[in-house]
Structure 1
Amino acid sequence: MKRVTGIGGIFFKAADPKALSAWYRDHLGLDTNDWGGAIFPWGGEGSAKGMTIWSPFAQDTDYMAPSTASFMINFRVDDLDALLTVLRTEGCNVLERTETSEQGKFGWVIDPEGNKVELWQPPG
C-alpha cells in the first residue's frame, strides 16, 4: 500500500494573512487567489495531474488544533481510509473526525511531537 504520495499543501498561521499573502505576491511572485493562498500545479507529460497549496491562516485559527504549532503539512494519499486504519493499528494518534467535500477526503494524525498532520485523498 502506498502511504504518502506527495505534499498537498503547506498551511501556517500569520498575524495578518492578507498582508502576508500580498507580500509573497509582490516580492516572491506567488499568484495568490482571493482566498489568500497560492496553487502550484504540477504534473507534466507522463505525470499525474495535481497541485500543492500554500496558504496563510489567521493567527487565531483553530484549524491546526489540537496542535499548538504554527504550521500544518498536508500530504496527498491514494487511499485515506486504508491508511488511517493502518496508522491506528500501528498505535498512531489518529483523530476520529474525517471530512469529505468536493476537494476530496481529509483525515488527521498527530505526530510524536504534537504536530497535526493533514492527510488528503484528492477527488476522483
Structure 2
Amino acid sequence: MKRVTGIGGIFFKSKDPARLCAWYREHLGIDVTDWGGAIFQWGGEGSKAGMTIWSTFSQDTDKMLPGSAPFMINYRVADLDALLAALRSEGCQVLEQTESSEFGKFGWVIDPDGNKLELWEPPAGQ
C-alpha cells in the first residue's frame, strides 16, 4: 500500500498572520491570497499536476490541537481509509474524526513528539 505520496501543505501559527503574510509576499515573493495562504502549483512533463498549500493561522487557532507544535504538515496520501486503518493497527495515535468535502478526505495522526499531522487524500483526478 502506498502511504504518503507528497506534501500537500504547510500550516503554522502566527501572532499577526496579516503582517507575516505581507513579509512573505514582500521579501520572498510568495503570492499570498486574501484567504491568508498561497498555492504552489507543481508537476511537469510526465508528472501529474498538483499543488502544495502554504498558510498561516492565528496564534489562538485550535487547528493544530491536540498537537503541541505551532505548525502542521499536510501529507498527500493515496488511500486515506486504508492508511488510517494501518496506522491504528500499528498502535499509532490516530484521531477518530475525519472530514470529507469537495477538497478531498482528511484524517489526522499524532507523531511520537506530539505533532499533529494532517493526512489528505485529494479528490479523484488531482
Q: Which secondary structure state, in structure 2, belongs to the residue aligned with residue 9 of structure 1?
A: strand
- Asked whether 1:3 is paired with 2:3, we answer yes
Question: In 2, Cα distance between the equivalents of 1:50 and 1:75?
Answer: 13
Aligned to 1:120: 120
SS class of match (2:22): helix
Distance 2:39 2:105 in 1: 18
Amino acid at match of 2:67: S
- The amino acid of 2:13's aligned partner reads K
Amino acid at match of 2:70: S
Counterpart-to-counterpart distance in 1, 2:102 and 2:20: 27
Residue matched to 1:98: 98
Partner Cα distance (2:17, 2:31) in 1: 15
Indicate the RMSD between aligned Cα atoms, in angstroms.
0.6
Task: State the TM-score, normalizing by the size of structure 1.
Answer: 0.98
Deviation at 1:68, TM superposition (A): 2.0
Unaligned runs of 5+ residues in structure 1 are none
Aligned to 1:45, what secondary structure does the other structure show? coil
- How far did 1:45 drift? 1.3
- Which structure 2 residues correspond to residues 16-95 of structure 1 after superposition, within 5 A? 16-95=16-95
Letter in structure 2 aligned against 1:14: S
In structure 2, runs of 5+ residues without a counterpart are none
The percent of aligned pairs where both chains have the same amino acid is: 74
Runs of 4+ off more than 3 Å = none
Residue of structure 2 in register with 1:14 after alignment? 14
Matched, 1:109 2:109: yes
> How far apart are residue 19 of structure 1 and its match?
1.0
Spell out, residue by residue over 1:53-72, the C-alpha distance to the aligned partner (whole angstroms, 9 max, x if none).
11010000000000121000
